[in-house]
A and B are shown apart, each in its own frame.
Chain A
Amino acid sequence: MNPRKWDKVATIVLYLISGFIIVVLAFLLLYILISGLPHVTWKFITGRSSSFAAGGGIGIQLFNSLYLLILSMLISIPLSLGAGIYLSEYAPKNWLTNLIRNMIEILSSLPSVVVGLFGFLVFSINMKLGFSILSGALALTVFNLPLLTRKVEDSLQAVHYTQREAGYALGLSRWETVTHVVVPAALPGILTGMILGAGRVFGEAAALIYTAGQSSPPLDFTNWNPTYIASPLNPLRSAETLAVHIWKINSEGIIPDASAVSAGSSAILILFVLLFNFAARYFGNKLYRHLTGARERG
Chain B
Amino acid sequence: MKNDEIRASLLKRSRATKNERFGKILTGLCIAIILTVVIAIFYFVASKGLATFFKDKVNLWKFLTGTVWNPGTTDAQGNPQVGALPMIVGSFGVTFLAAIVATPFAIGAAVFMTEISPKVGKKILQPVIELLVGIPSVVYGFIGLSVVVPFVRHTFGGSGFGILSGTFVLFVMILPTVTSMTIDALNAVPRNYREASLALGATRWQTIYKVVLRASTSGIITAVVFGMSRAFGEALAVQMVIGNAMLLPSNLISPASTLTSVLTMGMGNSVMGTLSNNALWSLALLLLIMPLIFNLIIRRIAKKGAMHR
- By a beta-carbon cutoff of 8 Å, the part of chain A in contact with chain B is 3-4, 6-7, 9-11, 13-15, 17-18, 20-22, 24-25, 28-29, 31-32, 35, 78-83, 85-87, 89-90, 100, 103-107, 109-115, 117-118, 120-122, 125, 142, 145-146, 149, 171-176, 178-179, 196, 199-200, 202-206, 209-210, 214, 243-244, 246-247, 250-251, 259, 262-263, 266, 269-270, 273-274, 276-277
- Distance A105 CA – B38 CA, assembled complex (angstroms): 10
Contact B30 A112 (CB under 8 A): no
Listed by A's residue number, 22 A-B pairs whose Cβ atoms lie within 8 Å are: A6-B205, A10-B205, A10-B209, A14-B108, A15-B112, A21-B132, A22-B125, A25-B131, A103-B38, A107-B41, A109-B233, A110-B41, A110-B288, A111-B260, A145-B37, A175-B24, A199-B134, A203-B138, A244-B138, A246-B139, A250-B142, A251-B239
* Closest chain A residue, CB of each to CB of B107: A17
* Interface 9-residue window, one of B69-77, B245-253, B261-269, B300-308: B261-269
Residues of B within 8 A of A (CB): 16-17, 19-20, 22-24, 26-31, 33-35, 37-38, 40-41, 44-45, 48, 104-105, 108-109, 111-113, 116, 120-121, 124-125, 128-132, 134-139, 141-143, 145-147, 172, 175, 179, 202-206, 208-209, 229, 232-236, 239-240, 260, 263-265, 267-268, 272, 281, 284, 287-288, 291-292, 294-295
Complex Cα–Cα for A22 and B264 (A): 32
Contact across chains for B26 and A82 when beta carbons are under 8 A apart: yes
The A interface, classified by DSSP as helix, strand, loop or mixed, is: helix
Contact B41–A118 (Cβ < 8 Å): yes
Other than A7-B205, A90-B27, A100-B31, give 17 A-B pairs with Cβ distance below 8 A: A21-B175, A28-B132, A28-B135, A29-B131, A31-B143, A31-B147, A32-B143, A80-B30, A83-B27, A83-B30, A107-B34, A118-B44, A142-B41, A173-B19, A206-B137, A246-B142, A266-B142
Q: Kindly list chain A residues whose C-beta atoms are within 8 Å of the C-beta of B108.
A: 13-14, 17-18
B134 x A200 contact (CB < 8 A)? yes
When distances are taken between beta carbons in the complex, the residues of chain B under 8 Å from A122 are 40, 44
Closest to A175 in B: B23
- The answer on a CB contact under 8 Å between A243 and B138 is yes
Check A86/B295 contact, CB under 8 A, given A25-B128, A203-B139. Answer: no
